[in-house]
Amino acid sequence: RFKELIDKIRSKSYIDKKSLDEIIKELQRILLSADVNVKVVFEISKRIKERVLNEYSQSRGVQLKDLVIKILYEELVKILGEEKRDIIIAKKPFVILFIGLEGSGKTTSVAKLAKYFAENGLRVGVFSLDIHRPAAIEQLEQLVNRIQADVEKIKFINIEGTSLNEKIRTILDILKDRDVILVDTAGRHKNEESLLKELENIYKYLTPDFTILVIDAYMGQKAYDHTLALKSRVNIDGIIVSKMDGSSKGGGAISASVASGAKILFLGVGEKVDDLEPYDPKSFVSRLLGLGDLDGLLTRVERLLKREVHDEKKLRELAKGRLTLVDVVTQFENIEKMGGLYKILSYLPGFSGKFRKEEIDEMETVIRKWKAAINSMTIEEKINPSIIKGSRITRISRGSGVDERLIKNLIKQYKIMQKLMKDRKHKRMFKEMLKSTRQL
């Protein structure tokens, strides 16, 4: 579905408020169907709209659809995490608490991370505080025993028949020589007050150095409220998204990230202790949006943005004071900055009241299309527009989606402007410009 949206944008290379609104609406539908929380979708789409409007005029050479994807990507990873990150083991022992909804994959994730840390040369201690589900502690023990590691590397501890406070104190003491201690807990539902209270107590007695929220990729819309409920009781420092080996797109992770303020660290990609992957922003977002080669696209856009800066410089040197189409674009941008044609005209004697609002809106649309056409031109064409004829016009039209007729008219405008620049009769310039724009 995202692909369809992109194809739709592809056929547009200029933006007006209406078509951007359409794009944003479609984007909202896609994010909602990927299970991103409604509030989050609203926030993200607002940001994207603002940024597209702001950045499009400065991103010459970048197609609108690519710009939309780039901005969407940047906004998403701002929430999810912009890079792969590691848990910094800042002291010894470093205590990590695992929390999450029932069945979210906490116990499996504890075992996966035990293996991960052991492989990184750390001495790991593991224990469980899940006294609610039968056989929960045995499940963790079995998973840990399955890890192929030096027996010395991973130590599993359990003691029975004491209070929560006593149990935590005793086990922490036994494991005090470990580099890192991983603590499993029972699943909590946001409406089970006694379990949430118990979590608060665990947090208080354990004083963990780091708390990981484990969320199931299939959790969807519920992720937001559940995360908020947990966040109101304990700190959340990082997120593991489990079951990413299934068909879910993992949109719930965005909700969990927003609600907790924490970033994604790892993904669970299977039931075995080896099935752990570090989070990678590009592949996570590609999957969420169902986009194949996001990496390639982002690299291309970056390159284009860099090259444009370079091209501009070269262009300025070559043009040496001549009126180029880049200057024309700058003029158009100045008009926009000054509040649009309507405002400018109302200040010019002889013009105020001459045009109806709709006529001026129409002219502004034409100007936007001209800008798109200029974006599709080569440097030579921008400096010396008189070479733009025949097959060049066809090419520019195809590249920008702007009608050939409009491009020819742009060249005509340019020539008029060039002439008028010489005798500096700005008033007449406007008059002529507007007259022939109206004839379109």
Least distance to Mg ion, CB of residue 107, Å: 3
Least distance to ligand GTP, CB of residue 48, Å: 31
Which of residues 195 and 305 has its CB atom nearest to Mg ion in the complex?
A: 195
Which of residues 35 and 130 has its CB atom nearest to ligand GTP in the complex?
A: 130
Least distance to ligand GTP, CB of residue 365, Å: 51
Distance between CA atoms of 221 and 34, rounded to whole angstroms?
9
Distance between CA atoms of 158 and 170, rounded to whole angstroms?
10
Which of residues 31 and 253 has its CB atom nearest to ligand GTP in the complex?
A: 253
Which residue among 13, 37, 104, 107 contacts Mg ion (CB under 5 A)? 107
Which of residues 242 and 376 has its CB atom nearest to ligand GTP in the complex?
A: 242
Binding of ligand GTP by 108 (CB under 6 A) = yes
Least distance to ligand GTP, CB of residue 98, Å: 8
Local structure of residue 320 (DSSP, 8 states): T
Which among ligand GTP, Mg ion, none contacts residue 275 (Cβ within 5 to 8 A by kind)? ligand GTP
Which among ligand GTP, Mg ion, none contacts residue 270 (Cβ within 5 to 8 A by kind)? ligand GTP
Q: Please tell me the count of residues contacting ligand GTP according to CB under 6 A.
A: 21
Tokens 């660290």 belong to which residue? Answer: 265
Distance between CA atoms of 242 and 275, rounded to whole angstroms?
10
Which of residues 106 and 112 has its CB atom nearest to Mg ion in the complex?
A: 106
Which of residues 243 and 382 has its CB atom nearest to Mg ion in the complex?
A: 243
Distance between CA atoms of 440 and 394, rounded to whole angstroms?
18
Neighbours of 152 (CB within 10 A): 8
Residues 152-191 within binding reach of ligand GTP (CB under 6 A): 186-187
Distance between CA atoms of 325 and 385, rounded to whole angstroms?
7
By Cβ distance, which residue is nearest to Mg ion? 107
Which residue among 93, 100, 250, 251 contacts ligand GTP (CB under 6 A)? 100
Which listed range, 129-137, 226-234, 288-296, 389-397, lies at the site for ligand GTP (CB under 6 A)?
A: 129-137
Q: Provide the phi-psi class of 205: left if phi over 0, else alpha when psi is between -120 and 50, else beta.
A: alpha
Backbone angles phi, psi at 366, to 5 degrees: -60, -45
31: tokens are 């994010």
Binding of ligand GTP by 245 (CB under 6 A) = yes
Are the CB atoms for 201 and 164 separated by under 8 Å? yes
Q: CB-based contacts of 439: which residues, under 8 Å, 6+ apart?
A: none
Which residue among 13, 45, 63, 107 contacts ligand GTP (CB under 6 A)? 107
Binding of Mg ion by 109 (CB under 5 A) = no
Rg (alpha carbons) of the chain, rounded to whole number: 30
Least distance to ligand GTP, CB of residue 236, Å: 15
> Amino acid identity, residue 262?
A
Which of residues 109 and 400 has its CB atom nearest to ligand GTP in the complex?
A: 109
Binding of ligand GTP by 125 (CB under 6 A) = no
Which residue among 26, 55, 275, 280 contacts ligand GTP (CB under 6 A)? 275
Residues 77-106 within binding reach of Mg ion (CB under 5 A): 106
Binding of ligand GTP by 138 (CB under 6 A) = no
- In a 13 Å sphere around the CA of 171, the CA atoms on its Cβ side amount to 26
For the range 276-284, what are the long-range contacts, defined as Cβ-Cβ under 8 Å and sequence gap of 24 or more?
276/109, 276/112, 276/113, 276/115, 276/116, 277/244, 278/84, 279/80, 279/81, 279/84, 279/85, 279/241, 280/84, 281/77, 281/80, 281/81, 281/82, 281/83, 281/84, 282/73, 284/80, 284/250, 284/253
Binding of ligand GTP by 103 (CB under 6 A) = yes
Which residue among 102, 225, 333, 362 contacts ligand GTP (CB under 6 A)? 102
Least distance to ligand GTP, CB of residue 398, Å: 47
Which residue among 268, 298, 383, 437 contacts ligand GTP (CB under 6 A)? 268
Q: What is the DSSP string of 65-80?
A: HHHHHHHHHHHHHHHH
39: tokens are 């509030």
Binding of ligand GTP by 274 (CB under 6 A) = no
Q: Which spans of this chain sit near ligand GTP (rule: CB under 6 A)?
A: 100, 102-108, 130, 133, 136, 186-187, 242-243, 245, 268-271, 275
Applying CB under 5 A, the residues found at the interface with Mg ion are: 106-107
